[in-house]
Amino acid sequence: AARMRTVAFDKTGVLTQGEPKVVHVVCLNGRSEGEVLGRLAALESASTHPLADAVRRYARERGVGAGRVSGFQNLLGRGAEAEVEGEYFWAGSLRMMEERGFAAGEVLERLPEGDRRSGSLVVCGTREQVWAVLVIDDPVRDEAGRSLERLRGLGVERVVMLTGDNGPTAERVGRQLGVNEVHAELMPSDKAAAVERLRGAGGHVTMVGDGVNDAEAMAAANLSVALGSGGFDAVLETADVVFLSGGLTRLPFLLRHARRTAAVIRQNVVLALALKAAFLGLAVVGWATLWMAVAADMGATLLVTLNGLRLLHARVN
């Protein structure tokens, strides 16, 4: 942690609040909002993704109940699919839509330009047609800008965003926070490959994430940091550091404290060796005694212990 120079962040739930809200639903091909929300609420009922929570809340607020669902499958980094009301139904990213044979350009051109950039896009439909596009907004964390600025002040040279979200939304958040590089529409394996490239370019890479989509990238980093106590087991097991509270404000503290710890370790090594060298010199000239040896050994132990205890007084600013 003391060598932190490049920091890569996931977006949703890390740089953003992780409490997304559906802004509105753009229905396509003659579908009604109630019809779309009923299918979506059923599909997302088994999902733990933050965007799924937003869809379920939006449906409840409008009094739309969930339909019957079976055969749910979570498609890592893409979305989800299941049989809803006896018919195949899917929901996920633009990439998932393209994998099902629908052209992203034809769908996006039916959205206002502002919608394409104002939030995350979730597309849903059946095998035959796209039913709707949901525009979902997830505000930036209040502390994100300050925390990134403090990291730069502490010598972090490169701040990178790795996200599965669409490009325009990711670029907007990146500009808002002053991120050096934005890599969007990434699969979990793409995030891991991006971390490997950052490591190959030189420097110590720290990956900050909070979801199962980040586990692979976190494992590839020199240091991995997980936010929140309610994360997935795979993430918590992979992470070297877990922040149970405080969010991103803990990251500059981690860097400062790690550097201070490294400095104290160096001081203790020098102090212990200096005392040993001094006693060795006294022994060579015949001035050392057994009690002096005991005092030197115990004294060195006490000094390095007391010096190390100074780290207990660290405080988060």
Q: Give per-residue pLDDT as tens, 269-307.
A: 888 888 888 888 888 887 877 777 777 778 788 888 888
Asked if residue 292 and residue 229 are part of one domain, the reply reads no
CA gyration radius for the chain? Answer: 26
Half-sphere exposure of 6 (CA within 13 A, CB side): 20
* Residue that wins the pLDDT comparison between 38 and 298: 38
Asked if residue 168 and residue 61 are part of one domain, the reply reads no
Identify the bridge partners of residue 123 per DSSP, sorted by sequence position: 92, 133
Q: What angle do CA 222, 211, 59 make, to 5 degrees?
A: 160
Asked if residue 94 and residue 116 are part of one domain, the reply reads yes
Asked if residue 243 and residue 157 are part of one domain, the reply reads yes
Asked if residue 132 and residue 152 are part of one domain, the reply reads no
Percentage above 70 pLDDT, the chain:
94
| Segment 157-202, tens digit of pLDDT | 899 999 988 888 899 899 999 999 999 989 889 999 999 999 988 7
Chosen domain end from 137, 160, 180:
137
Contact 60, 84 (CB under 8 A): no
Q: What are phi and psi of 243, to 5 degrees?
A: -90, 110
Chosen domain end from 86, 116, 137:
137
Asked if residue 160 and residue 96 are part of one domain, the reply reads no
Structural domain total, the chain? 3
Asked if residue 285 and residue 272 are part of one domain, the reply reads yes
Asked if residue 124 and residue 26 are part of one domain, the reply reads yes
| Segment 50-102, tens digit of pLDDT | 888 889 999 999 898 887 888 999 888 788 999 998 899 999 988 899 999 89
Give the integer Cα–Cα distance in Å for 19 and 157.
29
- pLDDT > 80? residue 40: yes
Supply the CATH number for residue 236's domain.
3.40.50.1000
Q: Which two tokens stand for residue 167?
A: 């490009």
Chosen domain end from 113, 137, 161:
137
Give the integer Cα–Cα distance in Å for 114 and 109.
12
Average pLDDT over residues 237-248: 82
Supply the CATH number for residue 44's domain.
3.40.1110.10
Asked if residue 131 and residue 26 are part of one domain, the reply reads yes
Convert 274-313 to b/e letters by CB count within 10 Å (16 or more is b): ebeeebeeeeeeeebeeeeeeebeeebeeebeeeeeeeee
Give the integer Cα–Cα distance in Å for 164 and 214.
10
Asked if residue 303 and residue 234 are part of one domain, the reply reads no
Asked if residue 164 and residue 153 are part of one domain, the reply reads yes
What pLDDT is recorded for position 91? 93
- What is the sign, positive or negative, of the torsion defined by CA atoms of 186, 187, 191, 194? negative
Mean pLDDT of the chain, nearest integer:
86
Q: Residue 50 is part of which domain span?
A: 21-137
How many residues can be counted in the chain?
317
| Segment 194-229, tens digit of pLDDT | 999 999 887 789 999 887 678 889 989 999 998 875
Closest listed residue to residue 110, CA positions, set 28, 22, 40? 28
| Segment 260-278, tens digit of pLDDT | 888 889 988 888 888 888 8
Beta-carbon contacts of residue 186 (< 8 Å; ≥ 6 apart): 77, 162, 163, 164, 194
Catalytic residues: 10
Give the integer Cα–Cα distance in Å for 241 and 188.
20
Q: Where residue 313 falls among pLDDT bands split at 50, 70, 90?
A: confident
Asked if residue 87 and residue 132 are part of one domain, the reply reads yes
Identify the bridge partners of residue 227 per DSSP, sorted by sequence position: 243
